[in-house]
A = this chain, B = another copy of it.
Amino acid sequence: MKHHIDFEPIGRRVDVDDDTTILDAARAGGVELMSVCGGVGTCYECKVRVAKGNVTPVTDIEQDALTADDLAQGFRLGCQCAPIGDVKIDIPAESLSTPQRLQVEGQGAEVELDPVAKIFDVEIPPPSLHDLRSDASRLIESIQCDHAAISLVLLSDLSSTLRRLNWRARVIARGDEVIAILPQDQSVLGLAVDIGTTKVAGYLVDLQTGETRAKAGVMNPQIGYGEDVISRIHYANTHKHGRETLQEKIVEGLNQLVDDLCSLANCSRDQIVESVIVGNTVIHHLFAGLPVEQLGEAPYVPAISEALEFRAKEIGLRLAPGAYVFLPPNIAGYVGADHVSMALASGIGETAQTVIGLDIGTNTEISLAHQGRVICCSCPSGPAFEGAHIQDGMRAAPGAIERVQIRGGVIQVHTIADQAAVGMCGSGILDAIAELINVGALDSRGGMKMDHPLTRQREKSKEVVLVDAQHSGHGRDVVITRKDINEIQLAKGAIRAGVEILLKVAGIGSGELDRFIVAGAFGTYLDLESAIRAGMFLDLPRDRFRQIGNAAGSGARRMLVSKNQRAAASDLARRMEYVELTVHPDFEKVFVKGMMF
């Protein structure tokens, strides 16, 4: 007998026979449900929630894997149950493999729609000998906004546009300025972008409905000029037109991203009338063409920390000709608009609770909300979690190991898109380290115990083979080395130190934390247990953690559709207190301790 399975939030329906497990059904339907053990019931990764309908009874394996609370809420393991009749299955973000998580994260920015761009559908009387008003006058009077001005870039095509549209137009005004004139059947879109040091995420949002019409990512093309922001500042300072080159590169990247988004949403860039772009302070400055010299020297002050807006055209970003770019405020040289945006989206600015929020990237920014204060800092965590500086590291792409388990002395891996392994992305590296600690292959200083069966010495390198050459995608072993582990120690030590110093500044202990929010792509895909086991995160009760996806991007989308949210971001930025970690007397001690396992 056939049953329907509706997978949410993916929104995909799969029809299956009796006795087909949810995991098999997911695979058959192209739903990338996580599984490391291959469905034998040892990895517990394929956790799903039965939202509607009935499935086969709970197995012994599920009794071990799931808490009573989980079971009460309908959680099951996908490999252990099969539908009895039609069911609806809800897949938590952490049980989805990377590509589909990218599709569903950051949904539902629930803000009241109040975009800076206002939309008017008008029918304009054409000129005649009895009505000699200028084209601009008749347009402005049609939207009943006497003080409106029309920007030069629009005026240059205004007369032909109005005649081509036969005097029926959708007019978009921003404050007192008319910024676009579209046919009445075209939707009005906004662009939200989170420019990371390594990756760029873009969202196309319908400004009338708030709906996200398309999402896409590109690599930050500035990578070729320096992996981290310090090396990009150096490039800008030491090369002729260095700053201009870095600006051109990122603008080119965004133009490419806009192309991709427009293809996905089947629209034109002329429909994109507004954009909100977030990034760290160095990225922000390089994008806007601002000086970065002073960000490379103490006391590391930004050229500007206030919100900034200008025409997209001014920097060569190709949206609608009259479109604007809004850059939210930043806090300090190393706490940027992206963190303000994340703090906005995660509610850190408004909470009455004591909350840590962190956004892991090449630079990791952390905020602590406690009794009305919001204290923040910046940790140079480096690009190791993006796969850089790791011998077999790679970004989260098909063939990347994203989960590692060691069961009975055997290493099991799960790769993105179930392709043969060719490397490891951040969450895989972190898993590998946590599992190697668990099985006693690593000591507390990160050293490999060479008497452990999983370790080996090869030439000068101590290493562990995760996937051997016979099973890999490129015919070589995929390994994790002592040096890789050291890179991760530096990164996670910096993050842990940042958290510890913020707690010290606030004068509280970790037990007082109500919530520990982890944002960013890597922060969302990482295995929480691994992060805690590796000492990167505090060992708090698990229900205090929230992995919230690209919150900086969500915040950007909020500001895209809401003037109030822009004001809230500026207010939040003014309130946030910046702590310079490196001058804190305890920093070095805490950092060294943080590197330990």
**A289 contacts B by Cβ under 8 Å:** yes
Known: A133-B301, A135-B302, A301-B127. A152 touches B310 (CB 8 A): yes
Could you tell me the distance between the alpha carbons of A140 and B330 in the complex, rounded to whole angstroms? Answer: 16
- Which residue of the partner chain B has the closest CB to A151? B310
Whole-angstrom distance from the CB of A346 to the nearest CB of chain B?
24
Assembly CA distance A300 to B303 (angstroms): 48
Q: What are the interface flags for A117-160 relative to B under an 8 Å C-beta threshold, 1 for contact and 0 otherwise? A: 00000000001110111111100100000000111110111111
The one of B132, B152, B290 in contact with A299, judged by C-beta atoms closer than 8 angstroms, is B132
The residues of B that contact A131 with a CB separation of less than 8 Å are: 299
Contact partner, A306, options B127, B149, B305, Cβ 8 Å:
B149
A293 and chain B: residue at smallest CB distance: B159
How many copies of this chain does the complex contain? 2
Whether A158 pairs with B583 at a CB distance below 8 angstroms is no
Contacting pair B288 A127 (CB below 8 A): no
**B302 near A332: Cβ-Cβ < 8 Å:** no
Contact call A305/B152, Cβ cutoff below 8 A:
no
A288-B155, A293-B159 known; A583 and B129 CB under 8 Å? yes
A304→B132 contact, CB < 8 A: no
CB A246 to nearest CB in B, in angstroms, measures 13
> Does any Cβ of B come within 8 Å of A1's Cβ?
no
Contacts of A567 in B (CB 8 A): none
| A299: chain B residues within 8 A (beta carbon) | 127-129, 131-132
User: Within the complex, which residue of B158, B304, B578 is in contact with A291, where a contact is CB–CB below 8 Å?
Assistant: B158
Option from B136, B150, B308, B330 in Cβ contact (under 8 Å) with A155: B308
Q: A152-B289, A289-B156 in contact; A135/B303 too (CB < 8 A)?
A: yes
Q: Could you tell me if B294 and A135 are in contact, using CB atoms closer than 8 angstroms?
A: yes
Instruction: Find residues 150-202 in chain A having any chain B CB closer than 8 Å to their own CB.
Output: 150-153, 155-160, 163
For residue A580, which residues in chain B have a CB less than 8 angstroms away from its CB? 129
With a CB–CB cut-off of 8 A, which chain B residues contact A332?
Answer: 132
CB-based contact B302/A156 at 8 Å: no
Decide: B303 and A136 in contact? CB cutoff 8 A: yes
Alpha-carbon distance A540/B314, docked complex (angstroms):
56
Tell me the complex Cα distance, A411–B150, Å. Answer: 57
A: number of interface residues (CB 8 Å): 48
Bound complex: CA A129 to CA B298 (Å): 8
For A302, what are the chain B residues with a Cβ–Cβ distance below 8 Å?
A: 134-136
Which residue on B lies nearest to A163, using beta carbons?
B294
Complex Cα–Cα for A288 and B299 (A): 44
Establish whether residues A135 and B304, one from each chain, have CB atoms under 8 Å apart when the complex forms: yes
State whether the Cβ of A111 lies closer than 8 Å to any Cβ in chain B: no
Most buried by B among A140, A303, A308: A303
The yes or no answer to A61 lying at the interface (CB within 8 A) is no
Question: How many angstroms from the CA of A136 to the CA of B132 in the assembled complex?
Answer: 46
List chain B residues, Cβ under 8 A from A127.
294, 299, 301
Per-residue interface assignment for chain A, residues 306 to 317, with 1 indicating a CB less than 8 Å from any chain B CB and 0 otherwise:
101110001100
Docked complex Cα distance between A310 and B154 (Å): 12
A residues with CB within 8 A of B: 127-129, 131-137, 140, 149-153, 155-160, 163, 288-291, 293-294, 298-306, 308-310, 314-315, 330, 332, 578, 580, 583
- Residue pairs across A and B with Cβ atoms less than 8 A apart, 29 shown, are A127-B299, A129-B298, A129-B299, A129-B580, A131-B299, A132-B299, A132-B578, A133-B301, A133-B305, A134-B306, A134-B330, A135-B301, A135-B303, A135-B304, A136-B306, A137-B304, A140-B306, A149-B308, A152-B289, A152-B314, A155-B288, A155-B290, A155-B303, A156-B288, A158-B290, A159-B294, A159-B303, A160-B293, A163-B294
| Apart from A134-B330, A152-B308, 5 more pairs, CB < 8 Å | A137-B304, A149-B306, A152-B289, A158-B290, A158-B304
